[in-house]
């Protein structure tokens, strides 16, 4: 298939592009480069030994998207474009609602005009809110999210659910990621957020590399074994493979399909810090601070459904996540 990836130079989008190309698909990338670099396109070409089509545009710009869709004529879309920082969403909620929800609605209108109805959405476990029903399954109730970022994901899911109910020709897959980490094992692409990272693994890696003085651990008084938050960390390449499997199994299969992408196991912040130091031999100093607004105590996935229906399973260990993140960080540090 020819697959359009929004947010295609970002963390999830770029890794998904590699795995789609490896599986024999053609990809077209769209990104406004608000939190990524066009250099990623060149690295993707080096990794895949192919010419990767890229358009710098905003998905919420109907004129730009019409031109791109006319030219690319994709058969499916993987929608990764979104603002994604939890803390930032708390301080800038209007920006998040306009970009994530408004941008998605305008993208869907563009796709309708062009008859593109195979759609894989980059959703999040944040749609489950602060639930104490663990592990979280696809049947767990979605609820008011703990932060505006999560609320935008929940709203986008509702938009897509309503669209598919109104027009049954749509095949819509909601992939609820848990916590994607790591990098491509080549070290050519990875997560390199601007400024101080909002996500744990790149933050740990930058501290280990000496680019930041210490890791800020937000809260050690949660009801968890060591008091720090627990998350289901899953390798980004496993996440990318999930998109490939979803497209291959569900394109042109009308309906709304929901799957968790996680490992089914949670690790605390301090467990990740310890695993990173053990895997890399690097010290990661940290300081305990107060809880961060919008964070929940613990979350991890039930992955029974995605294994049974799509045959997908996360295969990469926490050690591999740490090693690949470190390999990428070394390259990033060296420019």
Q: Which residues are catalytic?
A: 149
CB 116 within 8 A of CB 74: yes
The answer to whether the bond into 194 is cis (omega within 30° of 0) is: no
Length of the chain: 335
DSSP string, 210-262: TSSS-EEEE-S-SSSTTSS-EE-EEEHHHHHHHHHHHHHHHTT--EEEEEEES
Q: Is 136 helix (H, G, I), strand (E, B) or coil?
A: strand
Interacting residues of 236 by C-beta distance below 8 A, sequence separation 6+:
11, 12, 15, 180, 181, 182, 183, 184, 190, 191
DSSP helix, strand, coil percent of the chain (3-state; round to 5): 45, 20, 40
* Residue 137 to residue 141: CA distance in whole angstroms: 9
Place of tokens 């050519």: 188
Q: Angle 252-242-303 (CA atoms, 0-180°, nearest 5)? A: 110
The DSSP line for 144-210 is: --SSHHHHHHHHHHHHHHHHHHH-TT-EEEEEEE-EEE---TTSSS----SSS-SSHHHHHHHHHTT
């Amino acid at each position: 298939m020819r697959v359009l990836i929004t947010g295609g130079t970002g963390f999830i989008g770029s890794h998904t592009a590699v795995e789609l190309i490896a599986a024999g698909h053609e990809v077209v990338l769209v990104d406004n480069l608000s939190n990524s670099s066009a250099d990623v396109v060149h690295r993707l070409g080096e990794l895949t030994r192919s010419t990767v089509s890229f358009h710098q545009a905003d998905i919420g710009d109907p004129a730009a998207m019409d031109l791109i869709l006319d030219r690319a004529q994709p058969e499916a879309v993987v929608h990764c474009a979104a603002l994604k920082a939890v803390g930032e969403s708390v301080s800038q909620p209007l920006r998040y609602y306009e970009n994530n929800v408004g941008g998605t609605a305008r993208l869907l209108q563009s796709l309708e005009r062009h008859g593109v109805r195979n759609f894989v959405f980059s959703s999040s476990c944040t749609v489950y809110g602060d639930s104490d029903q663990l592990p979280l399954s696809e049947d767990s109730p979605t609820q008011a999210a703990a932060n505006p970022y999560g609320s935008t994901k929940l709203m986008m899911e509702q938009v897509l659910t309503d669209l598919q109910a109104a027009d049954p020709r749509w095949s819509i897959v909601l992939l609820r990621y848990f916590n994607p980490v790591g990098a491509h094992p080549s070290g050519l692409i990875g997560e390199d957020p601007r400024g101080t990272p909002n996500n744990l693994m790149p933050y740990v890696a930058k501290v280990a590399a000496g680019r930041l003085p210490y890791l800020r651990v937000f809260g050690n008084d949660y009801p968890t074994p060591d008091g720090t938050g627990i998350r289901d960390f899953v390798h980004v390449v496993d996440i990318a493979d999930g998109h490939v499997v979803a497209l291959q199994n569900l394109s042109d299969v009308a309906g709304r399909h929901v799957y968790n992408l996680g490992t089914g196991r949670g690790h605390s912040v301090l467990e990740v810090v310890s695993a990173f130091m053990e895997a890399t031999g690097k010290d990661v100093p940290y300081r305990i601070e107060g809880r961060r607004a919008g964070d929940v105590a613990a979350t991890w996935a039930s992955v029974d459904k995605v294994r049974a229906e799509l045959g997908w399973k996360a295969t990469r260990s926490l050690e591999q996540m740490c090693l690949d993140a470190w390999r990428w960080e070394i390259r990033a540090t060296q420019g």
